[in-house]
Amino acid sequence: MPKKWNILPSPPAIFLNSHPELPPSITRLLWNRNLRTQEQIDEFLNPDYFQDLHDPFLFKDMPKALDIIFKAIEDQKNIVVHGDYDADGVCAAAILITALKKFGAKNTSVFIPHREIDGYGLNAKTVELFKDQNIGLIITCDCGVSNVAEIKMAKEFGMQVIVTDHHSIPATTPPADAIIHSKMPDETYPDKNICGAATAFKLVQALLKKHKETNEFLPDGQIHEAFEKWMLDLVAIATIGDMVPLLGESRTLARYGITVLNKTKNLGLQRLLIAANIADETGKPRRGQYNAFTVGFQIVPRLNAAGRMDHANTAFALLVSEDEEKAAKLAEQLCKNNTDRQKMTEKMVDEAVKQIEETKQEDNPFLFVLGEDWGMGILGLIAGRLKDKYYKPVMAMGRDEDEIFGSGRSILEFNLIRAMQSVPKMFEKFGGHPQACGFTLKSQDILEEFKAEMIKIAEEETRGLDLVPQINIDAEVDLDEVDWKLYDLLQKFEPFGQCNEEPSYLACGLTITGISPVGQDGKHLRLMLKHNSHAVRKTIGFGLGDPARHPDNWRDTLKIGDKIDMVFSISVNEWNGNRELEMSIEYIKKTT
């Protein structure tokens, strides 16, 4: 739907004047990201791994967790790592199981739940399975904080339980032996926004720190610090993929993790990059260096596709693989899963849009769609696409023989998980974040009651709000200001992501001097533009020539000599060893 262009405010003159060494467009970025002091600015632009990461022992339960783990290894107990089926949960499980083996644990296993059979988090059947397997210690990652009954059952069976998680805290917390979760009540850990894999990584950091007190090297002779840093590629993938705010510790972990990714020793990641054609057969990146875009739009979707289309065990097996041939086959399977997922998503989104139109829901404050043959793995994608299209909270649901399950996505103005927490009796289980959730209804019979209750809550919470999606524009600039110096400074803002979006700029009154369709079917447009000088600048509008994405049909309506306003980002086009600045068009408007 159309977006409102919102130019962010300019900082006070005193702030602009205090940074004469920076272009005003960069100073505005700092101000609008609430980076006001020199200390904040220095930490953001130049994060330091040793200074900007918090001590893992700031977690209240960390000493208890370490004692339990080292004793379990010493006693050769059976240890199971219980992960989740998305990229965050799979990366977290890979980090933990690799570390446990590194410390000499002999009897370890991993359980990644099946999205549709097992559902999210622990369940009673799984706990029964662990009992039959004589498991002595369960370590959860990216789940567990909402599994009160299941963890109580595990404790009754004599198992110890350590929870590492980052999801919303329920009214009642589980009786685990230790809970490593930054949002727990009275938790002393300062950063409240790290993802599941980062939380698992903090546990590994603490294990390494404790082990180093009495051991110069790890059992296999590796240096503690080296092992720690080579895990950062997985932490970065999870951090970016789970869309946590890329500020504070998460920013530092993602920044250093992308550096590690560019020289990763993880065999599975190497083969995935090659299979996805992101790297050539030698493993060298095909276009410059890997960055947050590589992670968020090329790696994460392929890891997630395993759990959406089949079982996330495929993604986990890839990340811990030490066999070249096996890793290559797993990588190819993930790429195929992702292609199948894309086709299925398009089909189901079309069905969902038709359902909304036929049920005349467009004016409702909350949208609901239900497909009899929609699998849980695709529901979140359907909900996300509909949320973007209509800019309203959406729940996409599926049905099996005796239950209705679903996934929700919400807009910034509506806290989805808080709304669900206000009616907990409607759910068999649920969990998530303010903008994303998963759930199973208590009964199919309450579907209409459930929909009515969510609509009522949404009406109350959004009443009087102008619910129009906005694109925040960092500054209006002259195209002649876009040069290599500006680009190099922008690189210090990487990695881009949640709460640190890639900067968008506005240029007004541009004249089109050339138009060229690009790509298959001409779905992209190359525009040559003049601004306030005789210089002609090259831009690229991905999808700008696709009527399905742009109802204005720019491919047929734009002509040479037209005047436009343009919102764009700045990137680099690299081919055959050449590099040139490129302005990527995000939105345009024709002017008189």
Tell me, yes or no, whether 50 lies in a domain: no
pLDDT of residue 554: 85
Q: What is the length of the chain?
A: 592
Same structural domain, 133 and 184:
yes
Same structural domain for residues 138 and 244?
yes
Total domain count, the chain: 3
Residues 397, 105: Cα–Cα separation, whole Å:
41
Q: pLDDT value at position 302?
A: 96
What does DSSP say about strands 524-530 and 505-518: parallel, antiparallel, or unpaired? antiparallel
Residue 427 pLDDT level (bands cut at 50, 70, 90): very high
Q: Which residues of 22-44 are buried (b: 16+ CB within 10 A; e: fewer)?
A: ebebbbbbbbbbebeeeeebebb
Considering 438, 462, 486, which residue would you say is the last residue of a domain?
Answer: 462
Integer-rounded Cα Rg, in Å, for the chain is: 25
* Residue 483 confidence (pLDDT) above 80: yes
Instruction: Judge whether residue 378 has pLDDT over 70.
Output: yes
How do residues 332-366 score in pLDDT, each as one tens digit?
999 999 999 999 999 999 999 999 999 999 999 99
Q: Is the pLDDT of residue 489 over 70?
A: yes
CB 352 within 8 A of CB 371: yes
Q: Is 565 exposed, middle or buried (0-12, 13-18, 19+ CB in 10 A)?
A: middle
From CA 496, how far away is CA 259, in angstroms rounded? 14
Quick check: 388 pLDDT over 70? yes
- Name the amino acid, one letter, at 258: I
Asked if residue 179 and residue 123 are part of one domain, the reply reads: yes
- Among candidate residues 243, 261, 279, the one where a domain is terminated: 261
Residues 449 and 481 in one domain: no
Alpha helices, DSSP H, located in 365-474: 376-390, 416-421, 447-462
Could you give phi then psi for residue 454, rounded to 5 degrees? Answer: -65, -40
Reported as a pLDDT band with limits 50, 70 and 90, residue 301 is very high
Q: Containing domain of residue 494, as a range?
A: 4-44+471-591
pLDDT at 541 over 70: yes
Co-location of 64 and 35 in the same domain: no
The pLDDT of residue 551: 66
Judgement on whether residues 369 and 493 belong to the same structural domain of the protein: no
In the chain, the percentage of residues whose pLDDT exceeds 70 is 99
The answer to the question of residue 325 being in a domain is no
| Residues 399 and 515 placed together within one structural domain of the fold | no
Residue 344 in any domain: the answer is no
Confidence of residue 553 (pLDDT cuts 50, 70, 90): confident
pLDDT tens column, 172-229: 999 999 999 999 999 999 999 999 999 999 999 999 999 999 999 999 999 999 999 9
Instruction: Answer yes or no: are the C-beta atoms of 517 and 525 closer than 8 Å.
Output: yes
Last residue of a domain, one of 241, 261, 281: 261
Give residue 548's pLDDT. Answer: 66
CA distance 252 to 260: 12
Are 432 and 479 members of one domain? no
| E-state strands within 314-389 | 367-371
* CA nearest neighbour of 425 among 441, 407, 413: 441
Predicted local distance difference test score (pLDDT) of residue 39? 87
Please report, for the domain that includes residue 458, its CATH number: 3.10.310.30
Q: Is residue 254 domain-shared with residue 384, that is, in the same domain?
A: no
Residues 237, 134 share a domain: yes
C-alpha to C-alpha distance for 113 and 119, rounded to whole angstroms: 7
Residue at 347 is within a domain: no
446 and 394 in a common domain: yes
Q: Which pair of structure tokens corresponds to residue 391? A: 């800019």
Whether 322 is in a domain gets the answer: no
pTM for this model (two decimals): 0.87
Domain CATH number, residue 520? 2.40.50.460
Asked if residue 464 has pLDDT above 90, the reply is: no
403 in a domain, yes or no? yes
Give every CB contact of residue 410 below 8 A, 6+ residues apart in sequence.
387, 393, 394, 416, 434, 435, 436
115, 419, 429, 448, 456 from 444: Cα distances, Å? 20, 20, 14, 9, 20
Round to whole Å and give the CA distance between 146 and 142.
Answer: 11
Contact 229, 260 (CB under 8 A): yes
21 and 166 belong to one structural domain: no
Q: Is residue 211 situated within a structural domain?
A: yes
Per the prediction, the chain carries an average pLDDT of: 93
Is 290 inside a domain boundary? Answer: no
Mean pLDDT, range 448-462, rounded to an integer: 95
